[in-house]
Amino acid sequence: MEQQPVLTPLLCREARTLLDLDTAEVAFVARIPVAVLETFEAGHAMPPTTVLATLRRVFERGGVAFRPGRSKRGVELSVA
C-alpha cells in the first residue's frame, strides 16, 4: 500500500492555488480559523494532524491528487 505524503505548507499552498481558492474559502470549508491556515502555509506552525487530514480531504474532494514524486508542483488535478 502506497503511503500518503504528509501535507506540507508548500503542498497546501499548491493545492489551494490549483483549485483557485483563497485561504478564507479553504478555511471555511475545512471549518478552521483562517489564521491557522495562513500560519501553516507560511511555515510558522504545524496544526494538529486532524486539521492536516481535514485539509487534505478538502483538497482531494476538489479533485487534487498529491503526487510530490511525479509532479513538479507536487499536486495535480486527478482525472476520474
pLDDT at 6: 77
Q: How far apart are CA 4 and CA 70, in angstroms?
A: 13
In-domain check, residue 72: yes
CATH number at residue 50: 1.10.260.40
In-domain check, residue 55: yes
In-domain check, residue 2: no
In-domain check, residue 21: yes
Regarding pTM above 0.95, the answer is: no
For residue 45, the 8-state DSSP code is: -
In-domain check, residue 1: no
The residue range of the domain holding 55 is: 9-77
Q: How far apart are CA 5 and CA 30, in angstroms?
A: 19
Cell of 10: 508548500
Question: pLDDT of 7-61, one tens digit each?
Answer: 999 999 999 999 999 999 999 999 999 999 999 999 999 999 999 999 999 999 9
Number of domains in the chain: 1
